[in-house]
Structure 1
């Protein structure tokens, strides 16, 4: 059996679901648009520059979720999927996932974006296993705090290994381990798998992948 791991934003999706969720909340009037957009844009710029404090950002995002009743959150989540995510899912991404599923590989999405935003996206792709930043939930409500540690950078390695250990497996259990990502922020995990694939790579990852002889895959050039 092989293991196939996938980043989500700009890898399987041609958009950043985390950023787009914030834009969506502003557009539908669920948050103070000017203030939220200012902070969200600043965090997004930090992410692109690899200077983001993941806990600070996640607790900003999760704090926004905590302001809503669960029923309202569920309705917003469904509207977001219908209006933003489903139109962005491309056949090439589905086909790549299906290739690994048809081969009998164990497939998982490993993303720094929080579980609330990404769980329905993984379901839409038909992927059972999702490794994502977990919100703390108390009495059925998101508190605004992060549960555990971020799933970013080195955190993707730790969370992936913990997920595998829960199934009695390690990375060494598999004949081949693939990881598809667009970002240099994922170099820690890309560097320890047997088959790193720079997928829709940003400039920094393109340079690194080319130097290392890693394959470059462009899913969204159509």
Structure 2
């Protein structure tokens, strides 16, 4: 089976899901400016390739601790409609359609936590989502992670576990990403695509002969 794997942030989406989620919570008075500053610092660590994924998850999940996931789904749908839908890249959606027309199975694979990433997966009608998993106890967020974070080498491990569980022979993998943090999976894929890549990934793509796809989506004005 052919798998078409897509990173989420800055690949399918013009922007970063966690950043947008933090701004969404701030706009509703659910977090303070210190939360935004902490999130900005973590995003800088991500760009520099030094992110501690567990520390990042604690910041992202902090506002959800003690809350029941089921009680937050309506708010997530609102977040998707207002903050995600206008930023989904038209070129990315066209590429998803291109793969679907050929019978390929489309998978979103992202370091973003499942709760936040699901807003994009639902809008794109992608049922296969590999994401960093927040820990839930009796349906309530603890603020910690469970399992292997879907980040760097962890993406390869999570993909291998997914293929084993689904009985998929992953002999034909396409993977689209913008970030050098995804080099382990890009190197694992049979067909690697650098989408609006950062400087490190662009250099690697040029060296390896990977196609470079410059996808951009106009960002809607702030309200």
Show the counterpart of 2:167.
Answer: 168
Match 1:215 to one of 211, 217, 220? 211
State the alpha-carbon separation in 2 of the partners of residues 144 and 170 from structure 1: 35
Residue 67 of structure 1, CA deviation: 4.5
Q: Which runs of 4+ in 1 moved over 3 A?
A: 67-72
Cα distance in structure 2, aligned partners of 1:70 and 1:168:
30
| Partner residue, 1:185 | 181
Structure 1 alignment gaps of length 5 or more = none
Which moved further from structure 2: 17-26 or 110-119? 17-26
- Alignment check: 8 A CA contact 2:68 2:139 kept: no
**CA shift for structure 1 position 47:** 0.5
Aligned residues: 218
Structure 2 residue matching 1:4: 3-state secondary structure:
strand
User: What RMSD, in angstroms, separates the aligned Cα atoms of the two structures?
Assistant: 1.5
In the alignment, the residues of structure 1 paired with residue 63 and residue 145 of structure 2 have an alpha-carbon distance, to the nearest angstrom, of: 12
TM-score, structure 2 normalization: 0.93
Compute the displacement of 1:64 (Å). 2.0
The TM-score, its normalising length taken from structure 1, stands at 0.93
The answer to whether the aligner puts 1:194 opposite 2:193 as a matched pair is no
CA-CA distance at 1:70 after TM superposition? 4.1
User: What is residue 45 of structure 1 aligned with on the other side?
Assistant: 44
1:125-181 deviations in whole A, cap 9, x for unaligned? 12110000111111121111101121000000000000000012242xx3x210000
Q: Which residues of 2 match residues 100-115 of structure 1 at below 5 A?
A: 100-115=99-114
Q: How far off is 1:72 after superposition?
A: 5.0
* Residue-by-residue CA offset, 1:21-66 (whole Å, 9 max, x unaligned): 11111121111x2210121111111011111101111122122212
1:6 maps onto 2:2 in alignment: no
Pairwise CA distance, 1:68: 3.7
Where does residue 159 of structure 1 map in the other structure?
158
Q: Match of 2:77?
A: 78
Quick check: 1:144 aligned with 2:153? no
Contact between 2:90 and 2:217, CA under 8 Å: does it hold in 1?
A: no
What residue ranges of structure 2 are gaps of 5+ in the alignment? 219-223
- Residues of 1 paired with 2:18 and 2:217: CA distance? 22
CA contact (8 A) 1:114 1:135 kept: yes
Change (3 A) 1:71 1:190: closer
